[in-house]
Amino acid sequence: MFPTTLNLHNYLAYAVLLLVTLFTFYSLWGWLNGRKFQTRDKKFGLAAMLAVHIQFTLGLVLYLVSPTVQQAFKDFGLAMKSSSLRLSALEHPLVMLIAAVLITVARIKTKRSDSNSAHKTNFILYAIALLLILSRIPWAKWPGLS
């Protein structure tokens, strides 16, 4: 189960990054052009949020069964001194949770809106979430790059 879930989590990350990046720039474009926030915008945002939630759920499953995380919790002091263990056991999951919450807040704040300000709200919250995601991706383990 662990290798399959890990592979799914690793490769779904590409889709999540693509959707979140595209929606961030799409929201910027809508905001700067003064467009109303329409149904298609809401559906695009919903797709990005669902991808993030699925990715986070897979990550949570991995967190509970990961040998690396279990090793980190056996000797938490040692794990905090090791940057790779700290990234796996604390930094990556915590920052991804914050990013998922920001994206969810963006959806909640804009799903009933049809004004241009919804694009601004989405852009700001998605941009912050995207920066957080990019800051805590374990690039050394990234599939296709290592």
Query: What is the tens place of the pLDDT at every residue in 92-104?
Result: 999 999 999 999 9
Interhelix angle for 92-110 vs 117-136, to 10°? 170
- Cα 64 → chain centroid: 18
Pairwise CA distance, residues 85 & 67, whole Å = 11
Alpha carbon of 134 to those of 54, 55, 70, 93, 116: distances in Å?
A: 18, 14, 25, 13, 27
pLDDT attached to residue 68: 87
Q: Which segments in the chain show pLDDT lower than 50? A: none
pLDDT attached to residue 144: 66
- The DSSP code sequence of 45-91 is HHHHHHHHHHHHHHHHHHHHH-HHHHHHHHSHHHHHHSHHHHIIIII
pLDDT attached to residue 71: 87
Report yes or no: 105 and 85 within 8 Å, Cβ to Cβ: no
The DSSP letter of residue 115 is S
- Alpha carbon distance, N-terminus to C-terminus of the chain: 23
- List the domain boundaries for the chain: 2-141
pLDDT attached to residue 129: 98
Which has the closest alpha carbon to 15: 104, 133, 135, 140? 133
